[in-house]
Chains A and B, each alone.
Chain A
Amino acid sequence: MRAGEWSSQLRRGTLELCVLALIAGKPRYGYDLVSALERWEPLATTEGTVYPLLRRLQREGKVEASWQESAAGPPRKYYRLTPQGRDLLGRMMADWADLSEAVRETLSIEEEAESHG
């Protein structure tokens, strides 16, 4: 697998976690969410992935959505977490912590081996 392909698969998996985490902070609408993700270069994603993802999360009952008129501009579809979504986020955060810790340790063993060799 090429590094580019690997990296895009890695991002796809973490995007769901980041989207849930951002919505957990405050209710957000799609454009707001995409702009928030754009602040971190590695998370910058095509809007084309975020909207279908939101749709799936809504269908699965992890988020709920409501349309609200905005003062200036178009109506916005705001998302918030359901209790089920909050559970999922908690579990995903724990998994993420475990995984990143394990990866970090594996990489440090690799580094040690290199410095000895």
Chain B
Amino acid sequence: MHAARPQHPPFSPREQRLLRSLTDSGWGFYALLGGLLAVIAWGIIAYTVQLRYGLVVTFLRDNFMWGVYITNFVFFIGVSHVGALMSAILRITGAEWRRPITRMAEAITFASLLMGALMPFVDMGRPDRVLNLLLHGRLQSPVLWDMLSITTYLTGSTLFLYVPMIPDIALLRERFAAGPAWRRRLYTVLAMGWKGTEAQRHHLERIMGVMAILIIPIAISVHTVVSWIFGMTLRAGWNSTIFGPYFVSGALFSGAAAVVTAMAAFRWAYHLEDYITEVHFRRMGYLVIALGMIYAYFTFAEYLTPAYKMAAAERGYLSAVFSGQFARLFWFTQVGGVLLPVLLLTVPRIAWVPRLARVPILRPVPALATIATSLLVLLLLPAVLPQTAALGGFAVVRQPPPWIIAALGGWLFLTLLPLFRQRPIAAAVVASLLVNVGAWLKRFVIIVPTLQYPFLPIQRAPAGWAIYRPTWVEWSITAGALAGFVLVYLLFSKVFPIVSIWETREEGHQPALASPPAGVHGGAADAPAP
């Protein structure tokens, strides 16, 4: 029926830019798609191996009953956290700069939640009995709480993502009238007959008003419940009352960083420089800094209270984390995953930073060359030397003492500072990637050390059971899940505009389109969008 209405205006230049991701697919897209599908296929192969032989193909054993899969679960749920939450808070507070980035944030929630919800099923010993959860489900178990809250959150965040997309979908319905049939059908169904009438706008605003408020407690409850998977056990290191808010703060931090990464990726891939500007990165940077500080505060509170008392049960994991086999991982998550990103987002704005470039040992080229050489030597040395036992499976740098790492890192940081000052977006991306790597590792450090130091010592365990080193199956499934996350996100951006067209128009974002759109909703355009 829409094809019968030929008078659609063609894409305006602005729409063309925003819809380029839908219309043009270069070789880069197909290469990425192929790569992602390959990784996912590999992950599926790994999973079939696990199904065939049992969980023995992982390195999970009686003492380490949870590992990488549950780490992924917590990580993905955490990343999913910020999208809807941040978007809801920014909507409620009427922060106008949010408009170009809310949708990509909400889509992160969607994609990441799908992968996160998958992980417990991958972790299950008997996935064939999954129906028992419905047949014999016990509401007293936190697993059921998780199921309920994640289902609720997935539904809510999908609505929250979908509803503000309706006007854009209606636009696509009009514009893609001559496009492929699946697009036409999809957009027609999803557009809900949107015509932009006053009444429709009113309903839409009401939905967004309700959902923006409702999604906040749901989002917070989801990660709280995830933390209770650990908090409801007696294990030293998990038996913590602040695990709920601690996990929420960590989730917000990693999620905000994920949004920054996504912003940079889409800005680069879809040429959205006009929409996602440096201002957005700066504002998101503030958010990341604030959340990082909250997270650091919670980490401090979480570790100081047991460390001060050093109760017998907690000694094991605390010393392993602070100075033992997990120390490098832990300090990386704290220095590299929290402190450094926060510094990267703040320090380049300080006035004296450009002067650093004048210091002789901080000249980029010689300094970088020296650092790279020494790092290379430090990394290659242990590889050449006879293998030492890799503790914890994660000993990235085995031999060099920590102070050398710290010194090299500090040097590198100071050298790069002036460069980052010139490229604030690059700084934000580096910071956010560090945050996410650190967040994943931190979840690992929350889960595994505690399992290594149970109340009764690990004794008479068969060879290799007393240590956890993830196997290729676990890594493959993790990579597959990550690829799945990216794939869902990518396909989303290929089907729907990743930057809200109608909301950015209301903002009067484009100088070329400064005149407000005339028509029935002229009045509404002045009000903040729902």
- Is B a genuine binding partner of A? no
Chain A residues within 8 Å of B, Cβ to Cβ: none
